[in-house]
Amino acid sequence: MDASGQRKENLNSGPPSLTAAQRSNFAPLTARTYTAWRRRSLGLLAGRPFSLAQETALFLGQCRPQPGEWWLDAGTSTGFYAGLLARAGCRVLAVDLSPAMLREAARQQPHDHIDWAVMNVESNDLPEGRFDGVTVGATLNETHDPARFLQGAARVLRPGGQLWMMYLLRTAGPVQSVLSVPTLGGLHFPDPAWVSADLPGCTLVHGLTLGAVRFERYLRPPVASL
Ligand SMILES: C[S@@+](CC[C@H](N)C(=O)[O-])C[C@H]1O[C@@H](n2cnc3c(N)ncnc32)[C@H](O)[C@@H]1O
């Protein structure tokens, strides 16, 4: 059983109908090299030095995850956010489409507060309102259907829960145009207004843009008392 209270899926099962970018994450070589890229990528994309330590400080300072909370790390790859949350004392369900990424994540971020599971967040059947928080570290860019992904992530937040996102913004640059072509990646580069419109009922409480990198924290409002 995992943090969702459901049985874990088989790490070797593969989901159907994925974008080229999503499929690329199934390669063991992608999984083995991802963490090295992750260390440098935000600095390159932000156009200024921006280390994992700075990202960690930003996330912990904004979200203040508390011991005993339940978090979903949606598209965990090699478990950067899952590891942070577990070390803060949270219980984490860390999910990804890619079994290869999850195997690498479990090796790099071993922690008994983390459950790793193959799952497509765009079609998840996790219980509604199950989590205190959801982290989405650049997963939005790689989804097949970003609107469905956001709905799937927001649905599992409890009232008052928080959604933390880091994604790459639309810049209208030629590289993004190429990577958006379905056969060459099928990546999405949303703008914040679009993201906000696809999170009805959630409130943006923090937004920070560094070059092409955007960080956002949303809250699902608490249920109004009668
Ligand atoms: C850019 S990586 C994210 C890295 C990680 N969140 C981090 O902050 O380092 C995107 C990951 O999301 C996964 N992914 C893409 N679409 C997904 C979906 N619909 N459901 C679950 N995982 C997905 C990919 O397999 C990939 O490992």
HEC per residue, the chain: CCCCCCCCCCCCCCCCCCCHHHHHCCCHHHHHHHHHHHHHHHHHHHCCCCCHHHHHHHHHHHHCCCCCCEEEEECCCCCHHHHHHHHCCCEEEEEECCHHHHHHHHHHCCCCCEEEEECCHHHCCCCCCCEEEEEEECCHHHCCCHHHHHHHHHHCEEEEEEEEEEEECCCCCHHHHHHHCHHHCCCCCCCHHHHHHCCCCCEEEEEEEECCEEEEEEECCCCCCC
Q: What residues pair up with 175 in beta bridges, in sequence order?
A: none
The low-confidence residues of the chain, meaning pLDDT below 70, are 1-16, 224-226
Instruction: Please indicate, yes or no, if residue 10 is contained in any of the structural domains.
Output: no
Instruction: Please indicate, yes or no, if residue 45 is contained in any of the structural domains.
Output: yes
- CA-98 nearest atom, ligand 1: 25
Instruction: Please indicate, yes or no, if residue 73 is contained in any of the structural domains.
Output: yes
Instruction: Please indicate, yes or no, if residue 77 is contained in any of the structural domains.
Output: yes
Predicted local confidence at residue 42, as pLDDT? 93
- Structural domain containing residue 144: 20-219
How remote is the CA of residue 121 from the centroid of ligand 1, in Å? 9
Q: What residues pair up with 74 in beta bridges, in sequence order?
A: 95
Predicted local confidence at residue 14, as pLDDT? 41
Residues in the chain, total: 226
> Is 142 touching ligand 1 by the criterion CB < 6 Å?
yes
Predicted local confidence at residue 224, as pLDDT? 56
> Is 176 touching ligand 1 by the criterion CB < 6 Å?
no
Edge-to-edge strand ranges of the sheet holding 203-210: 114-118, 91-96, 70-74, 131-137, 157-168, 213-219, 203-210
- CA-31 nearest atom, ligand 1: 27
Number of domains in the chain: 1
- Most informative mutation of 33, 97, 155 for ligand 1 (most atoms within 8 A of CB): 97
For the domain that residue 129 is a member of, what is the CATH number? 3.40.50.150
How remote is the CA of residue 186 from the centroid of ligand 1, in Å? 14
The amino acid sitting at 56 is: T
Instruction: Please indicate, yes or no, if residue 12 is contained in any of the structural domains.
Output: no
> Is 116 touching ligand 1 by the criterion CB < 6 Å?
no
Q: How far is Cα 45 from Cα 98, in angstroms, rounded to an integer?
A: 24
Q: How far is Cα 53 from Cα 13, in angstroms, rounded to an integer?
A: 34
- CA-119 nearest atom, ligand 1: 21
Q: How far is Cα 200 from Cα 23, in angstroms, rounded to an integer?
A: 29
Instruction: Please indicate, yes or no, if residue 138 is contained in any of the structural domains.
Output: yes
Instruction: Please indicate, yes or no, if residue 47 is contained in any of the structural domains.
Output: yes
Predicted local confidence at residue 174, as pLDDT? 83
- CA-81 nearest atom, ligand 1: 8
> Is 21 touching ligand 1 by the criterion CB < 6 Å?
no
Instruction: Please indicate, yes or no, if residue 56 is contained in any of the structural domains.
Output: yes
Predicted local confidence at residue 185, as pLDDT? 85
Number of other residues whose CB lies within 10 A of the CB of residue 28: 13
